Amino acid sequence: MRSTSTAATVIPGLIESCDHIVSFGNYRPGYHTVLENATSIAEIQAILAMRRAEVPPGEWITALGAWNAFTMFAERRLPTRAELDAAVPDRPVLLYQTTIGPAVTNTAGMAWFAKASMRVTIGEDGNIAAGSPSTTPLYLLRLTQTRDQRRRTHLEAWALLSERRPDRAHRPGRAFRLRQALAMSWATRSLQAHASIQRRHSIISTISGTGTRGGAASRGQ
């Protein structure tokens, strides 16, 4: 519909076709921590220390997002390993900037990656270069994700959207409990759909591989 009126404000209907709620659960391992509102390394340390109280021993504290340390933080850099250790000395931490890094981890994280199935190159200060050096540790963490972990991350994302911060104690009312129940149901369905897609891709790859081998054998005959 086209409007030529000059007396009213017209706001177009917008549809978000990229489902970021799904990506929160499926692609953000560990206990994801929002750093987008931080303006300095001291604030990052405070946020991580607060998050630590909610994270079981041995579990990862992570922060993955579109934040950029070189433009958002006063120091114009990522925290160092020592600065992360000061905030979280007893749980592994991975801060991962944008989509390809760079990243940084703490001492506990370095110890975990030292035993990983793939080599991860980490500097003495905990920094990990952008590109494959950063995507490799992220891939390794994604391999550890369980269904329950994905569901938890989904629900935390919904809590943020509902303006109910998971790091702040509150008494959820009936409306919030209803949204939470709906989110859990939605999260379960989305995970089932994701698993179904993975199975289909596996089947297609198997059939395609078999067909290729068969075709090559036929041509050889």
Profile the chain (221 residues) by mean pLDDT over runs of 10 residues: 65 62 73 89 94 94 88 94 97 94 97 96 96 94 89 78 48 43 48 55 59 39 38
Name residue 62's amino acid: T
Domain of 111, CATH number, reads 3.10.310.70
Q: Is residue 128 part of a domain?
A: yes
Helices (H), the chain: 20-27, 41-52, 69-72, 81-87, 107-114, 132-143, 147-161, 174-220
What's the number of CA atoms in the CB half-sphere (13 Å) around residue 146? 4
Q: pLDDT tens digits for 68-119?
A: 899 999 999 999 999 999 999 999 999 999 889 999 999 999 999 999 999 9
pTM for the model = 0.66
Q: Is residue 137 part of a domain?
A: yes
Q: Is residue 174 part of a domain?
A: no
Cβ-Cβ contacts under 8 Å for 105 (sequence gap 6 or more): 81, 84, 92, 93, 94, 95, 113, 122, 126, 128, 137
Q: Is residue 74 part of a domain?
A: yes
Q: Is residue 110 part of a domain?
A: yes
Q: Is residue 160 part of a domain?
A: no
Tell me how far apart the alpha carbons of residues 155 and 149 are, in angstroms, rounded to a whole number: 10
Q: Is residue 189 part of a domain?
A: no
Total residue count of the chain as it appears in this document? 221
Q: Which domain holds residue 134?
A: 20-145
Domain count across the chain: 1
Q: Is residue 32 part of a domain?
A: yes
Give 79's DSSP letter.
Answer: P
Tell me how far apart the alpha carbons of residues 124 and 79 are, in angstroms, rounded to a whole number: 13
